[in-house]
């Protein structure tokens, strides 16, 4: 007897201190005995729980399932059951429990009581729910991206960090045949019928967009032609972005290929039109200027008419200068500028250009300071470089208000000759700085102030400087002024 009571005490002690919630439940559903872990889990003390039936601290939505299983066990259909269900904690919050219930019967088979064990799985359940929600979010996101990937009218290509093609959309697949009629091996940099913008030179491997992206470069609006046949050729504008893993390591690149054939053809037509119109206008205008000169020198023409003729002449000269700008742009389009390099004293050239701009500057009460060495020689096309200086200085004067100042500096540095034209004028908005070198572009502020111009000057400047192997840069602040910096390399010497 002693042994039996000892083991009952031991059992009671084990149950009381078990970390798992445990209860003896009567056949009427009322707890006969509950342990500490169960009290802690549900927030009631033992006497409180003993007064309650389990449906009272079960979440209403889970009562039926539990009652049904309880009944089936009592009816002898099953011996035990297991159920994951929600409990209501005394403070109102929900506690998830993993419940195991077994029925103990008397020797005659009469139900005696239930033994219930309850494991608190709230954290696990919440974790699972969060995981499920995150997975649903990720699935939705993936489906959205998938739909976008396949429906956009832009070719999309993903390459791995080793340059292998990982994925492309239908649109890109459709356009691959033009540059690679014999198929593509799926690796960045494969050569094909890809041409630079001149439409003649085959693109080298280092310049292929996929190769550049595989090397870690990012770029926008990279334009080129693809296709062997010039008639059916297509133009593309490509952008690339690098993709990085959680610790910033490169995991590949994404490329977007947009077809811009129509745009490029329209631009070609516009350029050809501008070029042919300016050619056609040049001959009659030369004749007009020639006769005007004769007339202006004719002493028989009365002074009043002479003055009017001078106005006509001034405007015809202005027309001629506009036409020469347009012609120059045309030449650029037709296949690059032909330079006639000679050994030129740039210091003298700059001084002359500034003197030529002085009357206009005086009229606008703009002062011009010049800082040039006595002599600075470089092999350049004198006429073209003079055009560069004239354009920059006349812009500086034109876009600087009353009382402002312009500074022209010429110096030598380690890489070449540097020309800086600074002004204290209207300045250029940050989002326009990259556009001012675009043909026909005119700044918003210049338009607001009705300052006349064609938007050709800086396009001409940049193409002349590029033909010399140099570069133009610009720093500007709206309302404070601008500095244009031209660098011409020594290699031309």
Residue 426 engages ligand ADP in binding (rule: CB under 6 A): yes
Residue 357 engages ligand ADP in binding (rule: CB under 6 A): no
Spatial CB neighbours of 208, under 8 Å, sequence gap ≥ 6: 188, 189, 190, 191, 194
Return the number of the residue (155 or 457) whose C-beta is nearest ligand ADP: 457
Count of residues that interact with ligand ADP, criterion CB under 6 A: 22
Cβ atoms of 490 and 413 within 8 Å: the answer is no
Q: State the Cα torsion 436-438-441-446 to the nearest 10°.
A: 10
Residue 485 engages ligand ADP in binding (rule: CB under 6 A): no
Q: Which residue is nearest to ligand ADP (CB)?
A: 443
Give the per-residue contact string, 389-418, with ligand ADP (x = CB under 6 A; - = no).
--x---xx--x-------------------
- What is the rounded CA–CA span in Å between residue 159 and residue 164? 5
Minimum distance between the CB of residue 449 and ligand ADP, rounded to whole angstroms? 9
Q: How many CB atoms lie within 10 A of CB 337?
A: 17
Tell me which of 482, 486, 487, 488 binds ligand ADP, using CB under 6 A: 482
Return the number of the residue (96 or 399) whose C-beta is nearest ligand ADP: 399
Strands (E), 52-91: 80-88
Return the number of the residue (252 or 427) whose C-beta is nearest ligand ADP: 427
Tell me which of 43, 53, 111, 455 binds ligand ADP, using CB under 6 A: 455
Return the number of the residue (118 or 354) whose C-beta is nearest ligand ADP: 354
* Residue 419 β-bridge partners: 410, 486
Residue 454 engages ligand ADP in binding (rule: CB under 6 A): yes
Return the number of the residue (43 or 453) whose C-beta is nearest ligand ADP: 453
* Residue 412 β-bridge partners: 417
Angle between helices 303-335 and 261-297 (to 10 degrees): 150
Tell me which of 255, 380, 385, 458 binds ligand ADP, using CB under 6 A: 458
Distances (CA, A) of 14 to 2, 7, 19, 22: 18, 10, 10, 10
Minimum distance between the CB of residue 429 and ligand ADP, rounded to whole angstroms? 9
What 3-state class would DSSP assign to 313?
helix
Tell me which of 425, 464, 468, 470 binds ligand ADP, using CB under 6 A: 425
Return the number of the residue (210 or 462) whose C-beta is nearest ligand ADP: 462
- DSSP class per residue in 339-391: P-EEEEEHHHHHHHHHHHHHHHHHHTT-EEEEE--S--EEEEEHHHHHHHHHH
- DSSP class per residue in 256-274: EEEE-HHHHHHHHHHHHHH
Return the number of the residue (166 or 475) whose C-beta is nearest ligand ADP: 475
Return the number of the residue (288 or 478) whose C-beta is nearest ligand ADP: 478
Query: What is the Cα 92 distance to its own chain's centre?
Result: 50
Residue 361 engages ligand ADP in binding (rule: CB under 6 A): no
Residues in contact with ligand ADP by CB under 6 A are 391, 395-396, 399, 423, 425-428, 436, 441-443, 446, 453-459, 482
């Amino acid at each position: 007897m002693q042994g039996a009571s000892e083991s009952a005490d031991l059992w009671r002690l084990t149950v009381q201190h078990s970390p798992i919630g445990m209860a003896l439940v009567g056949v009427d559903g009322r707890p006969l005995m509950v342990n500490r872990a169960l009290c802690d889990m549900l927030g009631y003390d033992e006497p409180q729980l003993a007064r309650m039936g389990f449906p009272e601290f079960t979440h209403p939505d889970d009562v039926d399932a539990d009652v049904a299983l309880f009944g089936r066990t009592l009816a002898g259909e099953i011996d035990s059951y297991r159920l994951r269900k929600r409990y209501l904690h005394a403070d109102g919050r929900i506690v998830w429990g993993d419940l195991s219930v077994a029925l103990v019967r008397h020797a005659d088979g009469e139900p005696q009581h239930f033994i219930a064990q309850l494991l608190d799985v709230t954290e696990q359940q919440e974790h699972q729910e969060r995981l499920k929600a995150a997975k649903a979010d990720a699935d939705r996101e993936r489906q959205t991206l998938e739909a976008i990937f396949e429906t956009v009218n832009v070719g999309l290509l993903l390459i791995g960090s080793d340059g292998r093609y990982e994925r492309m959309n239908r649109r890109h697949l459709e356009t691959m045949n033009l540059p690679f009629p014999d198929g593509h091996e799926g690796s960045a940099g494969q050569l094909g019928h890809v041409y630079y913008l001149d439409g003649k030179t085959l693109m080298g491997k280092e310049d292929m967009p996929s190769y550049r992206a595989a090397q870690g470069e990012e770029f926008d609006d990279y334009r080129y032609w693809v296709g062997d046949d010039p008639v059916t050729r297509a133009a593309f504008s490509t952008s690339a972005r690098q993709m990085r893993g959680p610790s910033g390591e490169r995991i590949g690149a994404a490329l977007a290929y947009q077809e811009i054939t129509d745009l490029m053809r329209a631009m070609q037509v516009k350029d050809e039109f501008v070029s042919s119109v300016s050619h056609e206008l040049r001959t009659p205008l030369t004749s007009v200027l020639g006769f005007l000169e004769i007339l202006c020198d004719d002493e028989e023409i009365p002074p009043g008419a002479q003055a009017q003729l001078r106005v006509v002449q001034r405007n015809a000269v202005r027309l001629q200068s506009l036409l020469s700008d347009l012609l120059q742009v045309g030449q650029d389009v037709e296949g690059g500028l032909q330079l006639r390099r000679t050994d030129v004293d740039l210091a003298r050239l700059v001084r002359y250009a500034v003197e030529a701009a002085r009357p206009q500057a005086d009229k606008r009460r703009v002062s011009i300071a010049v800082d040039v060495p006595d002599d600075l020689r470089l092999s350049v096309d004198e006429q073209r470089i003079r055009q560069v200086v004239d354009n920059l200085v006349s812009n500086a004067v034109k876009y600087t208000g009353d009382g402002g100042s312009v500074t022209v500096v010429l110096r030598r540095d380690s890489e070449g000759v540097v020309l800086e034209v600074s002004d204290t004028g209207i300045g250029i908005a940050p989002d326009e700085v990259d556009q001012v070198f675009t043909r026909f572009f005119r700044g918003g502020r210049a338009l607001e102030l009705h300052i006349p111009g064609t938007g050709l000057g800086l396009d001409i400047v940049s193409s002349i400087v590029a033909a010399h192997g140099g570069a133009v840069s610009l720093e500007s602040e709206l309302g404070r002024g601008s500095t244009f910096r031209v660098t011409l390399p020594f290699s031309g010497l």
